[in-house]
Amino acid sequence: MNFWSKLIPSKERTTKYWPGLINAYRDLLDIDNKTHIISLAEGNTPLIPAPAIAQACGIIGLSVYIKFEGANPSGSFKDRGMTMAVTKAISKGLRTMVCASTGNTSASAAAYTACARANGYSDAKCIVLVPDGYIAMGKLSQAIIYGSQVVQIAGNFDQALNIVRELADKYPIALVNSVNPDRIEGQKTAAFEICDQLDGRAPDILCIPVGNAGNITAYWAGFKQYAALGLVKNQPKMMGFQAAGAAPIVLGHPVENPETIATAIRIGNPASWKMAKEAVEQSFGLIDSVTDAEIIEAYKLIHSAQGICCEPASAASVAGLIKASKQGKIERESTVVCVLTGHGLKDSQTALDVSEFKPIRTSATESAVAQALNL
């Protein structure tokens, strides 16, 4: 079966020069025509057919696609929400952005603040709080080189979020975490894009990693809006996956000391907990956990069998789909979209640590190389 042949670009906006997601979907977003948009041309990310992942699921007639959010400007889905949050903050006269982060939000907030400086707001500043020692090096280096003030706290994400909420209450600064509704507003465009890319229908199932639970909330809002407007007839079952060591929603109580190799979703008390549950219930989906071993197995498969570069937390969506398939929870002939939320290059250390493919060292001659390769 040729997966590509099913993908028909249906809307001009998916094929022409891409103006960034606010301009592309302006009619469907809470934004007026006078607002000065802060954009890095985010969105319009590829929907990639993933036959190797479909095969690993072992379900007859399954079509799996990857929504590759690593293709956004700062390498994660956060850019969708951040173009909106920073645009709105600037339009309200605020110039300092603040966020707590496991890494990607900080990279994105820092990037869009730099973009604001480039667009006439030279006094725009960004402050990011991250758990010391628990964010991938690529993300930390992004926040630094984009020019934000990084604060590494001796605590986890949940504690950092409490602190920035208090700071934003006390000082004239914009909180750009996903508790800010502007973030959700921007992030829901990923659901619009998927429906457009599938030629006017929603997938049967959406699989997505869950950390602070903003993204699952945003996707569900997007799918509901497209259905309410009659742009699609169906809505997907929302299947959210937490890491087993950081699975408060699955367990039904906060986790005080969350632990997982997928540091991006190392969160014990998600801010959008209630909304995530609603998304799952309203869509007849599910929320489950996947172990670090399952995440790493999926992470390796996504890279070596499929050729897509994602970070460990992103692989929770694919690990979850494989788990649900084995449990008989995925129907035959389903169309499934797995969201790969962030680019793998942000966390190259994990790739080097877990891969069984190891480099070989030789001297610099043809014969030495041929011998080392057993040619």
Residues in contact with ligand F0G by the rule CB under 6 A: 76, 78, 101-105, 178, 209-215, 264-265, 311, 313-314, 341-342
The residue (of 62 and 89) whose beta carbon lies closer to ligand F0G is 89
Nearer to ligand F0G, 177 or 335 (CB): 177
Q: Do 257 and 156 contact (CB within 8 A), yes or no? A: yes
Sheet containing 286-290, strands listed edge to edge, beginning at the edge strand earlier in sequence: 47-49, 63-68, 335-340, 205-209, 237-243, 286-290
Q: Which is nearer to ligand F0G, 37 or 140 (CB)?
A: 140
CB of 293 to ligand F0G, least distance (A): 18
Q: Which helix (H) or strand (E) holds 85?
A: helix 78-91
State the nearest-atom distance from the C-beta of 312 to ligand F0G, in Å. 8
**Residue (59 or 210) nearer to ligand F0G, CB:** 210
Q: How far apart are CA 291 and CA 274, in angstroms?
A: 23
The rounded Cα 291 to chain-centroid distance in angstroms is 19
CB of 1 to ligand F0G, least distance (A): 30
What is the distance between the alpha carbons of residues 300 and 193, in angstroms, rounded to a whole number? Answer: 27
CA 199 – CA 328 distance, rounded (Å): 28
Q: Which residue has the tokens 């628990």?
A: 134
Min CB(342)–ligand F0G separation in Å: 3
CB of 8 to ligand F0G, least distance (A): 29
Shortest Cβ 157–ligand F0G spacing (Å): 6
User: Helices (DSSP H) in 127-256: which residue ranges?
Assistant: 137-145, 157-170, 181-187, 189-197, 214-228, 248-251
Distance separating alpha carbons of residues 365 and 104, to the nearest angstrom: 43
Of the pair 39, 104, the CB lying nearest ligand F0G is at 104
**Residue number with CB closer to ligand F0G (112 or 121):** 112
